[in-house]
Amino acid sequence: MIAGIDHFVLTVRSVEDTCAFYQRVLGFRRLDEPNRPTALLFGTQKVNVHEVGRTFEPKAKAPTPGSADFCLVAGRPLSEICASLAANGVAVEVGPVERIGARGPMMSVYFRDPDGNLVEVSEYGP
């Protein structure tokens, strides 16, 4: 019935800080359009970024910065992701570690964004 995820929303303290982080560390592209939330684009998905107190309707019942926990699939080797994290002073909390994702075994690293959201980036094996 459901084929995939189109986008999700992050409620953040600062759109500028969040966008700068994801652009610098993970290579996301920022999209600003009139009367629409700022978006971060990657692959064929996006993350809409709502600043707390300036959210768009409809929205979650209790949007809160730092409450997200999500997994992204790497588009390049996990070693390159780890190198980008290190080069940008982002501490890896866990990993690389083996996990089981939606498509099977994968290797993951976990770190936090500026709001404290837990970000997992994973690489599936061959």
Q: Is residue 113 part of a domain?
A: yes
Q: Is residue 100 part of a domain?
A: yes
Q: Is residue 20 part of a domain?
A: yes
Please tell me the predicted confidence (pLDDT) of residue 4: 81
Distance CA 83, CA 108 (A): 14
CATH of the domain at 58: 3.10.180.10
Q: Is residue 2 part of a domain?
A: no
Q: Is residue 75 part of a domain?
A: yes
pTM of the model: 0.92
pLDDT by position in tens, the chain (length 126)? 877 888 999 999 999 999 999 999 999 999 999 989 999 999 999 999 999 987 777 888 888 999 999 999 999 999 999 999 999 999 999 989 999 999 999 999 999 999 999 999 999 987
Please tell me the predicted confidence (pLDDT) of residue 53: 81
Q: Is residue 85 part of a domain?
A: yes
Task: Spot the catalytic one: 33, 93, 120, 123.
Answer: 120
Distance CA 126, CA 121 (A): 17
Please tell me the predicted confidence (pLDDT) of residue 22: 97
Domain count, the chain: 1
Please tell me the predicted confidence (pLDDT) of residue 83: 96
The verdict on whether 120 is a catalytic residue reads yes
User: In 15-39, which positions are buried (b, 16+ CB within 10 angstroms) versus exposed (e)?
Assistant: beebbebbeebbebebeeeeeebbb
The domain in which residue 87 lies consists of: 7-124
Nearest to 39 by CA among 62, 58, 12: 12
Q: Is residue 1 part of a domain?
A: no
DSSP H/E element including 78: helix 78-87
User: Which residues on adjacent β-strands are paired with residue 43?
Assistant: none
